[in-house]
Chain A
Amino acid sequence: MNIVPPPMGLLAELTHRCPLQCPYCSNPLELEAAAAELTTAEWCSVLDQAAAIGVLQVHFSGGEPMARRDLPELVRHAADRGLYSNLITSGVLVNARRLDELQAAGLDHVQLSFQDTETASAERIGGMKGAQALKLEAARLIGESDMALTVNFVVHRQNLARVPDMVKLAEQLGAARVEIANTQYYGWGLLNRDALLPTRGQSDLANEQVEAARLQYKGRMVIDYVTADYHAALPKACMGGWARRFVNISPIGRVLPCHAAEILPGMTYPSIREHSLAEIWGHDPAFLKFRGTDWMPEPCRSCDRREIDWGGCRCQALLLTGDAANTDPACVLSPHHGVMQDVVAQAGTGSEGFRYRRPGGQRMMPGAPSGPGAQVDELVE
C-alpha cells in the first residue's frame, strides 16, 4: 500500500454567486444556490482539517468569493492555522474598507482577473457594465496594500490579440506576476467553444508574443502563460495529477479532485458534511479512481511521461473521446488526437455571440448581456 501524500492546496469555492457572467466560467452549468452554501462554521472546520492533513495554501475562489460577508473571518481562520491564503477575485466588490479587513485578517495574495484590456470588449465578455473601472480601482487599492498582486487574464479568440497589452497593463498596475491562461473547454467554455477557440495562427502568434515579453520583463515581473490544449502536442498535468496536489470543495461542500470533476458520469463525490477530509483524501473511491498510474490505458501505461502529465485531463478525455479513462486527446499519441485537430481547423468560423454564465444561461440565445451590475448589493450576503 502506498502512503498517499497530502494535498498541497485547497481550492475553496465559497459561492457560485458572481456579478459577472463570463462565457468561459469554470463553474458548473448547474449553479448552486446561496441557501445551500456551507456556513461559516462549516468552512472553518474545513480549514482546520485541511491544515491538519498538510495543506499549505488555500485559494478562496467562487463565483466571487467577496460575495460572502464572512470572507475576512475565513481568511483570519486560515492565517491562524498557518495556511497561506490567496483570494481569486473579479475585483468588482472590492473597496478600501473591505480590503483593509482582508489585509488585517492576514490575506497573503490577491489574484485579480480582467476580461480584456479594452473596456468595451472586457465588459461585453464579462457581461457587466462598469466592471472595468471597478477592477482598475481594485488593482490600485491592492497595489497600495501589503498584499501581493497577480493580474489574471483568461484568453480566447476574442481577446488573444491583446496579449502584449495585457502584460503592459499588469506592469502598470504594479503586479509582481501576470497569469495569462487560455480558456479551458469544458462546462461553459465548451458551450461557447465556437465563439472562443483561437485559430492556430492566433495561438502561434500569442506564443511568440509571450516569449518576447518574458525576455523583456525578465527580473521585473513573472509571466505565467497557460497554453491552449487544443493547439498542443502534449497534454498538461491537469491539477498536477488526479487527487495528488489539490482538493476542491464546492459551495455546498462537495469534495472534488478538480473543480470540473462533477461532469464525469457515474462518479459520486463525497460531502464534507458527512465525511472528514482525511478519510476522503485517503480512501474515497472517486479519489482513488484516477490517482497514480494503475488506471491508465495504453499509450499512457507504457509511456515515460506518465508520471509527468499523469495522462492529462479526465474531463477532456470524456468530452472528446466519450470515456474519462482514455488518454487525454491533447496528446499526439492518443488515437483520438485528430478530434482536437479537426476542431482547431474549424476555429474562427463560428459566431462570436456568447451564452452567458447565469442560472439557465445554457439555454439562452446569444445576445447582449443585461448588465446585472445594479444587483451587486443583493449578491452580497
Chain B
Amino acid sequence: MPSFPRGVRLRHDEARNQWVVLAPERAFVPDEIALEILRLVDGEATLAGIIDTLAARYAAPREEIAADVLGMVDDLAGKGALRG
C-alpha cells in the first residue's frame, strides 16, 4: 500500500497554480501522471486499487495503466516522495 513517508506531503500551491510535493529540503512539481497517482495516495488505497481507479477513469487497458503506475511509484520512491 503506497503512502507518504514522514515529512512528505502533497499540496496545492495557489501562488503558482500547481501541485507540489514538499519534502525535507526539497520541493518538486509532479508531472500529470504522477499527480494523478499521488492524489489517490491516502494511506488506505492499495496499489491494485489505484490501478483500478485510473484504468476506469481513463477507460484504458489495465495492464497499460499498471505498467505506468508501477514505474511511477518506483520513480517517486527513489526520490523519497513515496513509500511503496
Interface residue ranges, A against B (CB under 8 Å) = 5-6, 8, 53-54, 56-57, 82, 84, 86, 108-109, 111, 146-148, 150, 176-177, 179, 219, 222, 224
Contacts and interface: CB of A to CB of B under 8 A. Distances in A.
Nearest to B15: A54
A109 B11 contact: no
B15 A6 contact: yes
Given A8-B27, A111-B24, A176-B7, 18 more contacts: A54-B13, A56-B22, A57-B22, A82-B11, A84-B9, A84-B27, A86-B24, A86-B25, A109-B7, A147-B6, A147-B7, A148-B5, A148-B6, A148-B7, A148-B8, A150-B25, A176-B80, A222-B80
B13 A56 contact: yes
Contacts of B24: 86, 108-109, 111, 148, 150, 176-177
A86 B6 CA distance: 12
Interface in B1-40: 5-9, 11, 13-16, 20, 22, 24-25, 27
21 contacts: A6-B15, A54-B15, A56-B11, A56-B20, A56-B27, A84-B11, A84-B22, A84-B27, A108-B7, A108-B22, A108-B24, A109-B24, A111-B25, A146-B6, A147-B6, A147-B7, A150-B24, A150-B25, A176-B7, A177-B25, A224-B25
A104 to B, nearest CB: 15
B78 interface: yes
The 4 residue pairs across chains A and B that have the minimum distance between CB atoms? A148-B7, A54-B15, A148-B6, A84-B22
Q: Chain B: interface secondary structure?
A: loop
Contacts of A108: 7, 9, 22, 24
Contacts of B20: 56
Nearest to B11: A82
Contacts of A111: 24-25
B15 A53 contact: yes
Contacts of B25: 86, 111, 150, 177, 179, 224
A57 B22 CA distance: 8
A111 B14 CA distance: 27
A150 B8 CA distance: 13
Nearest to A83: B22
Contacts of A148: 5-8, 24
Contacts of B77: 219
A177 B15 contact: no
A108 B7 CA distance: 5
Contacts of A177: 24-25, 80
Contacts of A150: 24-25
A56 to B, nearest CB: 6
A219 B22 contact: no
A148 B7 CA distance: 5
Contacts of B15: 6, 53-54
Contacts of A219: 77-78
Contacts of A147: 6-7
A111 B80 CA distance: 16
Contacts of A176: 5-7, 24, 80
Most chain A CB within 10 A, of B6, B20, B24, B27, is at B24
Contacts of A6: 15-16
Nearest to A221: B80
A219 B27 CA distance: 19
A130 B45 CA distance: 46
A167 to B, nearest CB: 16
A84 B11 CA distance: 10
